Amino acid sequence: MTTKTVTFRPVIDTQALRKIAKETHYDDLTEFINDAIKEKVEKEAIDPKVRKFISKVSAAAFEYMGWKFSKPSTKEAAEIRRGVAEMKSGKVKTISSQDLIKHLKKL
């Protein structure tokens, strides 16, 4: 397999990309960009009929479960932001997704 170099010039500031990659625990910026491209390609490759079917199944599941998603009120949004800030600062104990998965597997 022949590998070709692709020149990539992001429209987003590279320092901002590096910060996002670091915050999302990627080892380096290349890994972050490759993952983002792979995710986009996989999403775009879905057959429109399949995408429509997934949408209908999701809507039926939401209706069956009684779920309704809406934009939070100003008060709710402030409360959410405050909770996130507390988690990031370490004031509130959090559980990593890996620990949660391990715990659920034990059940």
pLDDT one-digit tens code per residue, 68-84: 888 888 999 899 888 88
**Chain-wide mean pLDDT for the chain?**
85
- The whole-number pLDDT of residue 1 equals 57
Domain spans in the chain, listed from the N-terminal domain onward = 1-69, 72-107
Q: Is residue 29 within 8 Å of 8, Cβ to Cβ?
A: no
Q: Is residue 94 within 8 Å of 87, Cβ to Cβ?
A: yes
Tell whether the model's pLDDT for residue 96 goes beyond 90: no
- The whole-number pLDDT of residue 84 equals 84
pLDDT digits 0-9 by tens, 32-53: 888 888 888 888 888 888 889 9
How far apart are the C-alpha atoms of 26 and 5, rounded to whole Å?
Answer: 22
